[in-house]
Amino acid sequence: MFSTLFAPLLLVVPVLALPNVKHQCCNLSNTTLLLPSNQTALAVPTDAPSFVAVAVGVQNYTCNATALTYSNVGAVADLFDVSCISGTSQFSTIGNDAFGIWNHTSSSVTGQDVIKKLGLNLQLLGHHYYVPNPNTTAGSPAISPKWDFTSDAEKGNAEAFVIGAKVGDLPAPTGKNDVDWVQLKKVEGELANTVYRVKTKGGQPPTSCTVGDPSLSVKYTAQYWLYGANFKR
């Protein structure tokens, strides 16, 4: 389940696409994000998402020498468009299905390979990774999550990214081995005003570590729901 692969470009996959053709996702106007009814950590969105993606990637950790627990230091993932299977049974299970393959493959297998093994032809929307926090203040994280479509589905569109800051955090309803569900607000970019990470599978590190333990990259899958895209196509 765990590996020491820690390269930030671990999952970059080439896409064969015309350089000036912009991706058009399927209609999401009737697609609703379902959150647990007994929680208040994440706000329930009232509008339709701009994009829904399944992520295949890794959560990265280092050992905190003081607490002797693993601290998250970012993530890297490929993001695939699932808008065209919205409303099907596979839409809600694709993360679990992908994780079943991803978690039992070698490091040479890509996110694209995993999706193909599911018998699906989903377009690569872009990538999720971390960058230096653009608005560093006292007590704020040193790095921030970014969702970037500028080299893939929106190739050449400099506005098609969003850097987020967490505003809500919910332990995964599916169990302690799955990374938290989170809600984030836009800090920079026009790809979304709000981002949700839900339907997570995997990604949690061991509960403790020893000083000197190597960094870990722990495989995970998730759905990312992006709301309020406001960029020129």
Phi and psi at 90, nearest 5°, equal -70, -25
Which tokens go with 29?
Answer: 């106007």
The pLDDT of residue 4 is: 40
Average pLDDT over residues 100-112: 93
The pLDDT of residue 16 is: 35
> Measured between alpha carbons, how far is 45 from 54 in angstroms, rounded to an integer?
19
The pLDDT of residue 231 is: 82
Per cent of the chain over pLDDT 70 is 89
The pLDDT of residue 136 is: 73
pLDDT-derived band at 9, boundaries 50, 70, 90? very low
From the list 50, 114, 24, 48, the residue with the least C-alpha distance to 77 is: 114
Lookup result for tokens 């992520």: 55
Direct distance between the N- and C-terminal alpha carbons of the chain, in angstroms, rounded to an integer = 40
Residue 81 predicted with pLDDT over 50: yes
* pTM for this prediction: 0.90
In degrees, to the nearest 5, what angle opens at C-alpha 32 toward C-alphas 159 and 27? 55
> Measured between alpha carbons, how far is 2 from 147 in angstroms, rounded to an integer?
24
Average pLDDT over residues 176-194: 97
Please give the C-alpha separations between residue 147 and each of 64, 112, 119, in angstroms, as whole numbers.
Answer: 27, 17, 25
Query: Residues 136-154: pLDDT tens digits?
Result: 776 677 999 999 999 999 9
The pLDDT of residue 134 is: 87
The pLDDT of residue 138 is: 63
pLDDT-derived band at 8, boundaries 50, 70, 90? very low
Average pLDDT over residues 54-81: 97
Query: Residues 16-65: pLDDT tens digits?
Result: 333 344 677 899 999 999 999 999 999 999 999 999 999 999 999 999 99
